[in-house]
Structure formats: structure tokens, C-alpha cells
């Protein structure tokens, strides 16, 4: 009996120490679940959906690359550093549009951050229920669903005159339209996305942790600073990055208020163009094959920039999540 117990213990130790045995048992357990037809069909559908999604993204990127090959062959890397966009002489450089996209998006995010965090904390901690809280939540949801062209009209009739008045007061060329105007309109558009996600994250914080902080004599400010912020930090950052992705790809509202200038912007008050707005303005008017392929290459740049920001956001969120844990 003792020898049999020793052999069993020895075999168990081998299973724990040998990684191949663990992999074998996991594979065997996986295939054992395949005996159920419903489970096999369900797993197959999920696998097929994931593969199709990957193939869809890959096909979009490949189609953009193929259709932008004339521009890539003609300009090479100079396309990303060139500042001249002249369809008549077929000279195309995308740097002004990349700069316009990044400026409008990041200025909009800077404006959005304090408002979205304040709204998230207020609705998630200070006013969770009640008529006013419900009205504010419904208003935020309504703002998230308003068409971008409506925001464009709001920018034209409200933001543009206000910015023009400020420019006159400070002896700046009173364009009214420009990067700052587009950034303000974008910030109004993306606040609901960041605020809604932040509010949901704050509401998910366990009440026991907050009650324990209150029991220790902490004030509401101290609870928000030392309890809510550390737990909700990754969610708040995720909401801001989601809003940034929306801002980078926004087209109609930005096109209506940015001024649509192909020159390199020198100040935030100057008219400019974004990558999305130049495509919207000139795609239907592109006559030559080189002009059309250059616009498609700008689409490739927009695709790559959005992908990089998405990947960077996931890395940042993962680091914060590890730090919190």
C-alpha cells in the first residue's frame, strides 16, 4: 500500500512539474467538450466570426494600399513631409492635414478631460438617482446621438461668432473658422462618450470600500481622490481614448467649421484641414488618378494613426490596471 501511495504521489509531482503533461491534460479536456454538438457549433461560430473580423480589417487595409500605390510610387516618404497640396500641378503632401488632425483632436481632448471627469464623478457618486440626475443622464445620451451635421450648424451659428469676437479683441485676423473652432465643436461632441463610460466605471466601484473610507473619517473629497480615482483610473482613460478615436475620425462637423485651407497651420486660430475633411472635400472632385490615389493614401495614414492610438490606449489601460491591482 505504501509503495502504491508513493507511485501516485510521484506521478502527481511529475504532472505538476512537467509542463507537457499540463498541456496534454488541457488539450484532452478541450477535445472532451467537443463531444457536445451544440458546444462544437458554438465554438465554430465564434472562431469563424473572429477570423472574419480579422480578414475584414486586413482586406480594408490591403484595398487602401493597392489603390494608393500610384501616390506611394510617385512621392514615397516625401508624401508625409510635404506641405504643398496642388492638384493642378499634381504635387501632394499630407503634412498639413496630419498636423490639422492631431491639433484639433488633442486640443479637443484637453478641453474634454475636466468636463467629462467632473460629470462622471457627479453622476456616479454625488447624484446617482433622482429627477435631476435622470434628466442629466438622458441629456448626455441625447448629445451622444445627435448627428454631426447638427453640431456643425451649432459651430457655425454659435462658436464661430464667439471665436471671431475674441480674435477681434486680440487683434487677430477674424476668420472665425479654424482649428480652435473645430476643437471646441469636437469637444462638445465627444464629452458624452467619455462621461458615460466614466460614470459606469465609477458606479461599479464596491460600496464597501467607500463606506470603509468614510468609517475611517475620510471626507467626500478624500474618498474621491484616494478611493474612486485609483479604482476608476483605467476606465476614465479608456473613455478619453474612445473619445479621441471619435475626434480623429470626425468629418462633417469639422469640415463645416475648420476653414478648409490646405496650408500648413501656423496658429490654432488659422484655417486648416484634417485628413478626414480633405477626403470629404476633394474625393468626388478628383480627376487625375494621382490625385485620387493621394486621397486614398491619406486614408491609409488615418487608418494607421487610429490603429496606433488604439494600441497605445490598450497598453496604457493595461499598465494602469496592473498598477491598481
Q: What is the pLDDT of residues 132-167, one digit of tens each?
A: 888 888 888 888 889 999 999 999 999 999 999 999
Residue, of 62 and 41, whose pLDDT is higher? 62
Please state, in angstroms and rounded to a whole number, the distance separating the CA atoms of residues 168 and 245. Answer: 33
Buried b (16+ CB within 10 A) or exposed e, 137-146: beebeebeee
- What's the pLDDT tens digit per position in 196-250? 888 888 888 888 888 888 888 888 888 888 888 888 887 788 788 888 888 898 8
- What is the pTM (predicted TM-score) of this model? 0.81
Please state, in angstroms and rounded to a whole number, the distance separating the CA atoms of residues 267 and 81. Answer: 19
What ranges do the domains of the chain cover?
2-72, 77-324
pLDDT reported for residue 68: 94
Place of cell 464596491: 206
Q: Which residues, at least 6 apart from 27, have a Cβ–Cβ distance to it below 8 Å?
A: none
- 3-class DSSP assignment, residue 170: coil
Query: Which one is the CATH code of 77-324: 1.20.970.10, 2.40.160.10, 1.10.3720.10, 3.40.50.970?
Result: 1.10.3720.10
Please state, in angstroms and rounded to a whole number, the distance separating the CA atoms of residues 186 and 179. Answer: 10
Would the CA dihedral through 131, 133, 137, 139 be positive or negative?
A: positive
140-154, 270-284, 308-322: which has the minimum mean pLDDT? Answer: 308-322
H/E stretch holding 174 reads none
CA atoms within 13 A on the CB side of 299: 21
Amino acid at each position: 500500500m505504501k509503495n502504491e501511495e508513493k507511485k501516485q504521489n510521484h506521478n502527481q509531482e511529475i504532472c505538476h512539474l512537467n509542463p507537457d503533461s499540463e498541456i496534454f491534460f488541457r488539450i484532452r479536456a478541450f477535445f472532451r467538450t467537443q463531444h457536445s454538438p451544440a458546444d462544437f457549433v458554438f465554438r465554430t461560430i465564434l472562431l469563424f466570426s473572429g477570423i472574419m473580423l480579422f480578414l475584414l480589417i486586413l482586406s480594408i487595409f490591403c484595398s487602401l494600399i493597392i489603390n494608393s500605390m500610384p501616390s506611394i510610387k510617385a512621392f514615397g516618404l516625401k508624401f508625409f513631409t510635404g506641405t504643398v497640396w496642388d492638384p493642378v500641378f499634381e504635387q501632394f503632401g499630407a503634412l498639413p492635414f496630419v498636423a490639422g488632425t492631431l491639433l484639433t483632436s488633442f486640443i479637443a481632448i484637453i478641453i474634454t478631460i475636466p468636463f467629462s471627469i467632473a460629470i462622471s464623478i457627479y453622476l456616479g457618486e454625488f447624484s446617482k438617482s433622482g429627477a435631476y440626475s435622470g434628466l442629466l443622464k438622458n441629456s448626455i445620451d441625447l448629445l451622444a446621438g445627435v448627428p454631426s451635421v447638427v453640431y456643425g450648424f451649432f459651430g457655425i451659428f454659435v462658436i464661430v461668432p464667439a471665436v471671431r469676437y475674441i480674435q477681434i479683441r486680440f487683434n487677430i485676423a477674424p476668420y472665425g473658422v479654424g482649428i480652435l473652432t473645430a476643437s471646441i465643436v469636437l469637444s462638445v461632441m465627444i464629452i458624452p462618450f467619455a462621461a458615460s463610460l466614466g460614470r459606469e466605471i465609477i458606479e461599479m466601484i464596491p460600496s464597501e470600500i467607500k463606506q470603509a473610507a468614510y468609517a475611517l473619517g475620510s471626507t467626500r473629497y478624500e474618498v474621491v481622490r484616494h478611493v474612486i480615482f485609483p479604482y476608476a483610473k483605467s476606465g476614465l482613460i479608456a473613455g478619453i481614448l474612445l473619445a479621441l478615436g471619435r475626434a480623429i475620425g470626425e468629418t462633417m462637423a469639422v469640415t463645416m467649421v475648420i476653414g478648409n485651407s490646405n496650408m500648413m497651420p501656423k496658429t490654432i486660430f488659422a484655417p486648416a484641414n484634417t485628413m478626414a475633411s480633405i477626403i470629404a472635400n476633394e474625393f468626388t472632385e478628383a480627376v487625375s488618378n494621382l490625385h485620387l490615389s493621394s486621397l486614398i493614401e491619406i486614408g491609409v495614414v488615418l487608418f494607421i494613426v487610429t490603429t496606433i492610438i488604439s494600441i497605445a490606449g490598450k497598453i496604457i489601460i493595461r499598465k494602469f490596471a496592473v498598477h491598481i491591482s
